[in-house]
Amino acid sequence: MVSAAEQLAANLNFGALAKADELKKRIWFTLGALLVFRLGTYIPLPGINVIALAEFFKQQQQGMLGLFNMFSGGAVGRLAIFALAIMPYISASIIIQLLTSAVPQLDQLKKEGEAGRKVINQYTRYLTVVLAAFQAWGIAVGLEGSTNLVLEPGMFFRLSTTITLVGGTLFLMWLGEQITKRGIGNGTSLIIFAGIVAELPGATANLLELGRQGAISSFLILMIVVMAFAVIAFIVFVERAQRRLLINYPKRQVGNRVYEGQTSFLPLKLNTSGVIPPIFASSLLLLPTTVASFAVQSDSTGWLGIIAAYLGHGRPLFMVAYASLIIFFTFFYTAIVFNPAETADNLKKQGGFIPGIRPGERTAELIDNVLLRITVLGAAYLVIICLLPELLVSQAALPFYFGGTSLLIIVTVTMDTVAQIQGHLLAHQYGGLVKKAKLKGGRQ
């Protein structure tokens, strides 16, 4: 006989999607929310000299400003109301998570369940406002310092720019939460994903145009395409890689029924932290360099100019800082999302054990050691994916959009979203099978 799981897998197709009304509503809501985000990236800030802005951005787009423009979906290059994107919210989330590990009161809130998480989320929103206001004010001042970018400099321009940019970030924060709650996938990741994907066609056209003009060779373009496909294949392979720990469950008796001993696996992903470390690392690097990039024209020899120069895209300091932050957040986020002691305690309560290892503390130590080793591999994988293509692209003076960070975000978010869609389809089909079985039983 075909098992229920096999039957569900066999019926998992587009026909099932047409019947899943709830899933279709979620998909349409997600697409609509992302469309709103894209429209906002074309609404410019008031008081900006568009011609001077286009000339200024041509000179700065290969640096960190260009990286920020990619994450914002082109909003920075147009100085739109979403120019800050969702990065201040990500930075606030990083800071709050770090404080949660260090401050006992926040750690206690985290353990209080849903009520505690709501309070922590509220703190994150407050901190987002502070960070966004600081960054927006810095951008306004930097714009005034740049030649001819602002039509009427002054306090009114600074206040209006700050309020507009902060409002745009808060709207995106709310929009991301709505996508997570009422749509498909993680809202914050999908907003970043949509921004990157929207910029890829233009970057591809620019690359081909450089090839047509003879600025770069056709062989180099071919190598970039091959590298992109190789990176994508490597990402998919590693993201699916697991270290499985054998778990045995002894024979047990429940009432008059005796259940035979079972064997299962505890899967530990090679990259437990997912795409979070590169996003967090980019967010922290973008926070100080955004202001510096706008102010560098007026003060190229000052400390802002020095920051922009040394943290330029492809520079050694940028590479070292980026790799260090990725490694740190890989270990930090893995420690947050996976608790070996809690996992070992749950196995002990269920009667499960790892062969040859005593349940409880010894099991937790084994899981922690295995997790540490695979996290080292996961961190190395993220650094290689994010930095090697960046090095090749920066050395060839090509658009950075083909870098590993953007490909990692695109592939990982796509895999996560598809997995959630499959989960909804399975739940819908399983509910239909259960309903049919009940109706059949009732007729009999």
What pLDDT is stored for residue 163 in this prediction?
93
> Cα separations (Å) of 99 from 93, 102, 276, 340?
10, 5, 18, 21
Return the minimum-mean-pLDDT range out of 51-60, 127-136, 273-282. 51-60
Degrees (nearest 5) of the Cα angle 366, 372, 374? 105
Q: What gap in Å lies between CA 80 and CA 72, rounded to an integer? A: 10
**pLDDT single digits (tens) 99-114:** 887 788 877 887 777 7
Q: What gap in Å lies between CA 120 and CA 127, rounded to an integer? A: 11
Is 60 exceeded by the pLDDT of residue 395?
A: yes
- Residues with Cβ < 8 Å from 395, sequence gap 6 or more? 314
Degrees (nearest 5) of the Cα angle 422, 427, 429? 95
Neighbours of 444 (CB within 10 A): 5
Q: Are 402 and 228 in contact (CB under 8 A)?
A: yes
> Cα separations (Å) of 169 from 33, 53, 389?
15, 21, 30
- Residues with Cβ < 8 Å from 60, sequence gap 6 or more? 66, 293, 296
Q: What is the pTM of this model?
A: 0.79
CATH label, 25-435, candidates 1.10.3370.10, 2.60.40.1510, 3.40.50.10490, 3.40.640.10: 1.10.3370.10
**pLDDT single digits (tens) 304-317:** 556 666 666 667 77
Alpha carbons within 13 angstroms on the beta-carbon side of residue 269 total 17
Question: Residue 252 forms beta bridges with which residues?
Answer: 259
Q: What gap in Å lies between CA 61 and CA 122, rounded to an integer? A: 35
Domain ranges, ordered by start, for the chain: 25-435
**pLDDT single digits (tens) 265-286:** 888 888 888 888 888 887 777 7
Neighbours of 46 (CB within 10 A): 12
